[in-house]
Copies of this chain bind each other. A is one copy, B any other.
């Protein structure tokens, strides 16, 4: 049985959850203002974005065109690099485009975070700033609706001619997402109308009809954005366009091959004309794809778009393809931190079961794209596994991408870090032992901002038939839904991720029939035990009955004002091992509790974490051997490097740490990497000497907040 659902409107959910409210405030007060400065090239020491510069330049060009009329000569296309920089950084040419080909999206991601933030925290000043920015952006739009400053400024004659690399449709997708968020946050539709006009232009340019271009995005996101636009506006044309992009992808004759051959023939060498089709999931039609491959963010966005289109167009073959790809990711390509994309080469999924710890890529954006995908899989069919994975991605790799002061970020999220290797070993050049202030290719920080500011959208969906409210995440706050015509308010307290208990108070004007479907978290033990940890007052007098289906506890029947659902999920420490096919994790264990994956840092455990072993026998022998200790985590690191990379303000956060029985193999005397060695490199095998210690594990998302040190998620067994 298929039960489609969709998220509650953002304004209908208020987040008061201590954990997520803190994160949202961090983004609101630290990240969003920083981003705005970054967009306007006002961050001392950081590479300029040129994002607003480009919109202003395009707007000025439009104005010139209006003034000059037929005298106006539009620029003839000139390729100036995938990233172009001014010859003299102190004096950028006000008429020229600078930055990456996708630089417009810096604005779109910012406005998206702003829109979400305004749903929770109205801010007239911020809204004013945003409105002014939107005026500039809209002034950059061409009369025909086209809006990508890269081609507007570099020459429109080659627009849509390099879909493989030039990200125009990616810009469209982000613009739509940002415009919708701002519309939802403020009710203002100026940017939304601009996005629709660009989408309309694209919808005429691309499509199945003769004369229309048969291309599709080189970097996906337009698919999911157009589906969202279709949902918001009710306009089928946007769904048709999304579906065209999804259906056309990877079909033969391959559009990207055609495009590359044309470029070569025409003498265009904007980029190498050859193309790695799996990199962009364009190697075969999406319904034939059974392994998640290629650039992980592209893949996550595509699969999200596929799931969205599958639901909106009620397409079982597409839903099946999504499920196949989901299974492949979850069963063979998912880090225990919720990260995906194991290899730096192409920032991509590696082969099945290849999940390197120290060389992991696990881009922050990729974990976020996995949460997008999971939410849309939930919308297709409520199954607890989707929510489990979504929660894992949100609480771990997504948050690990940002320092606890909101001021520095990871692009790459390794599961094991040995700082000396990061400094000396080119094989892990992509792995940074401390977070960086900002990135020229600024995808991860704003992506973190937009998902954190909209995290409530991942907590609830309401069934399309309005019969059921699904609770996917337990998040303190207030949610309003209309269920079977009744206005229902849910007042939730929760203590995630540190405790599994909480309550939901139901407020109603009058008794009403509906179902609340509560996810039974995978981390809470067997489904029946988890279900037993939930009690609804309405069950006592038989008004509400329970049924467990696909990991959800459906509490159905007549609900009355003041009804309460109490939940108290067990949150045992779980010592996990990876499937033996994961070569990197043989002989290793990891510790998770609730949705949180833990890790060991040098700051707590000393260096040489590769010699730290969990005392697995002791832990197997005594389920309480691992102590769960609530504590106040002190972040803070000063002057890590000359660029200030790795600095973290002194902030404290309530957390839980694990104290794990463990042992250490001693470092041979004198065998430090620096000292003159006298311990032989190879010697007769003797069982390792065991020095008993207690390993201290902290939440993975909190690592690298105390300066540069070693870290590992997996411990030796």
Across the interface, which residues of B come within 8 angstroms of A676, CB to CB?
327
User: Is the CB of A442 closer than 8 A to any CB of chain B?
Assistant: no
Question: Cβ of A343 and Cβ of B426 under 8 Å apart?
Answer: yes
Question: Cβ of A575 and Cβ of B345 under 8 Å apart?
Answer: no
Q: Which of B611, B666, B673, B686 makes the CB contact (< 8 A) with A586?
A: B611
Question: Cβ of A332 and Cβ of B610 under 8 Å apart?
Answer: no
| Closest B residue to A689 using CB positions | B580
Question: Cβ of A580 and Cβ of B343 under 8 Å apart?
Answer: no
Question: Cβ of B685 and Cβ of A616 under 8 Å apart?
Answer: yes
Q: Which of B359, B424, B581, B716 makes the CB contact (< 8 A) with A350?
A: B424
User: Is the CB of A427 closer than 8 A to any CB of chain B?
Assistant: yes
Across the interface, which residues of B come within 8 angstroms of A420, CB to CB?
351
Question: Cβ of A425 and Cβ of B351 under 8 Å apart?
Answer: yes
- Give CA–CA (A683, B425) in the complex, Å: 32
A351, A574, A582, A686: which has the most chain B beta carbons within 10 Å?
A351
A425, A611, A686, A688: which has the most chain B beta carbons within 10 Å?
A425
Question: Cβ of A685 and Cβ of B717 under 8 Å apart?
Answer: yes
Question: Cβ of A579 and Cβ of B427 under 8 Å apart?
Answer: no
User: Is the CB of A130 closer than 8 A to any CB of chain B?
Assistant: no
Q: Map CB proximity to B onto A549-592 as digits: 1 under 8 Å, 0 otherwise.
A: 00000000000000000000000001111111111001101100
Question: Cβ of B579 and Cβ of A682 under 8 Å apart?
Answer: yes
- Give CA–CA (A680, B330) in the complex, Å: 8
Question: Cβ of B424 and Cβ of A351 under 8 Å apart?
Answer: yes
How many residues on the A side are at the interface (Cβ–Cβ under 8 A)?
Answer: 67
CB distance from A717 to the nearest CB of B (A): 7
User: Is the CB of A1 closer than 8 A to any CB of chain B?
Assistant: no
Question: Cβ of B687 and Cβ of A616 under 8 Å apart?
Answer: yes
Q: Which of B350, B673, B678, B716 makes the CB contact (< 8 A) with A587?
A: B716
Across the interface, which residues of B come within 8 angstroms of A610, CB to CB?
583, 586
A345, A352, A420: which has the most chain B beta carbons within 10 Å?
A352
Copies of this protein chain in the complex: 2
Across the interface, which residues of B come within 8 angstroms of A616, CB to CB?
685, 687
Question: Cβ of B681 and Cβ of A343 under 8 Å apart?
Answer: no
Interface residues of A in 64-122 (CB under 8 A from B): none
Across the interface, which residues of B come within 8 angstroms of A683, CB to CB?
576-577, 579
Q: Which of B352, B678, B685 makes the CB contact (< 8 A) with A575?
A: B685
Question: Cβ of A579 and Cβ of B359 under 8 Å apart?
Answer: no
Across the interface, which residues of B come within 8 angstroms of A368, CB to CB?
none
User: Is the CB of A679 closer than 8 A to any CB of chain B?
Assistant: yes
Across the interface, which residues of B come within 8 angstroms of A667, CB to CB?
580-581
User: Is the CB of A704 closer than 8 A to any CB of chain B?
Assistant: no
Q: Which of B577, B666, B674 makes the CB contact (< 8 A) with A682?
A: B577
Question: Cβ of A681 and Cβ of B579 under 8 Å apart?
Answer: yes
Question: Cβ of A673 and Cβ of B353 under 8 Å apart?
Answer: yes
User: Is the CB of A671 closer than 8 A to any CB of chain B?
Assistant: yes
Across the interface, which residues of B come within 8 angstroms of A583, CB to CB?
418, 610
Across the interface, which residues of B come within 8 angstroms of A575, CB to CB?
684-685
User: Is the CB of A421 closer than 8 A to any CB of chain B?
Assistant: yes
Across the interface, which residues of B come within 8 angstroms of A674, CB to CB?
352
Question: Cβ of A579 and Cβ of B426 under 8 Å apart?
Answer: no
- Give CA–CA (A158, B680) in the complex, Å: 48
Q: Map CB proximity to B onto A650-692 as digits: 1 under 8 Å, 0 otherwise.
A: 0000000000000001111001111011111111111110000
Question: Cβ of A673 and Cβ of B343 under 8 Å apart?
Answer: no
Question: Cβ of B578 and Cβ of A681 under 8 Å apart?
Answer: yes
User: Is the CB of A302 closer than 8 A to any CB of chain B?
Assistant: no
Across the interface, which residues of B come within 8 angstroms of A336, CB to CB?
682
User: Is the CB of A334 closer than 8 A to any CB of chain B?
Assistant: yes
Interface residues of A in 339-394 (CB under 8 A from B): 343-346, 350-354, 356, 359
Across the interface, which residues of B come within 8 angstroms of A586, CB to CB?
610-611, 665, 716
Across the interface, which residues of B come within 8 angstroms of A682, CB to CB?
336, 576-579, 590
- Give CA–CA (A667, B581) in the complex, Å: 7
A336, A575, A583, A616: which has the most chain B beta carbons within 10 Å?
A583
Question: Cβ of A425 and Cβ of B685 under 8 Å apart?
Answer: no
- Give CA–CA (A684, B418) in the complex, Å: 27
Question: Cβ of A421 and Cβ of B577 under 8 Å apart?
Answer: no
Question: Cβ of B668 and Cβ of A581 under 8 Å apart?
Answer: yes
User: Is the CB of A232 closer than 8 A to any CB of chain B?
Assistant: no
Across the interface, which residues of B come within 8 angstroms of A421, CB to CB?
351, 354
Question: Cβ of B351 and Cβ of A685 under 8 Å apart?
Answer: no
- Give CA–CA (A323, B241) in the complex, Å: 71
User: Is the CB of A620 closer than 8 A to any CB of chain B?
Assistant: yes
Given known contacts A351-B425, A680-B331, A681-B332, A671 and B620 CB-to-CB distance under 8 angstroms: no
Q: Which of B345, B579, B665, B686 makes the CB contact (< 8 A) with A679?
A: B579
Across the interface, which residues of B come within 8 angstroms of A608, CB to CB?
580-581
| Closest B residue to A342 using CB positions | B425
A332, A336, A427, A685: which has the most chain B beta carbons within 10 Å?
A685
Across the interface, which residues of B come within 8 angstroms of A717, CB to CB?
685
- Give CA–CA (A365, B670) in the complex, Å: 31
Q: Map CB proximity to B onto A599-641 as digits: 1 under 8 Å, 0 otherwise.
A: 0000000001011000010001000000000000000000000
Q: Which of B343, B673, B677 makes the CB contact (< 8 A) with A425?
A: B343
Across the interface, which residues of B come within 8 angstroms of A578, CB to CB?
681-682
| Closest B residue to A676 using CB positions | B327
Q: Which of B352, B427, B580, B668 makes the CB contact (< 8 A) with A611?
A: B580
Question: Cβ of B334 and Cβ of A681 under 8 Å apart?
Answer: yes
CB distance from A269 to the nearest CB of B (A): 19
- Give CA–CA (A352, B336) in the complex, Å: 30
- Give CA–CA (A516, B233) in the complex, Å: 96
Across the interface, which residues of B come within 8 angstroms of A687, CB to CB?
616, 620
CB distance from A421 to the nearest CB of B (A): 7
Question: Cβ of B581 and Cβ of A671 under 8 Å apart?
Answer: yes
Q: List 19 A-B contacts (CB under 8 A).
A: A332-B673, A344-B427, A350-B424, A351-B424, A351-B673, A356-B427, A574-B684, A576-B682, A577-B682, A578-B681, A578-B682, A579-B679, A581-B608, A581-B667, A581-B672, A581-B679, A587-B716, A589-B685, A620-B686
User: Which 9 pairs across A and B sit closest by C-beta, in order of nearness?
Assistant: A345-B426, A331-B677, A352-B673, A351-B424, A575-B685, A583-B610, A577-B685, A576-B682, A589-B685
List 16 additional A-B contacts (Cβ < 8 Å) besides A328-B677, A582-B681. A332-B677, A343-B427, A350-B424, A351-B421, A418-B583, A576-B684, A577-B682, A577-B683, A577-B686, A579-B668, A580-B608, A580-B667, A581-B668, A581-B671, A586-B610, A620-B687
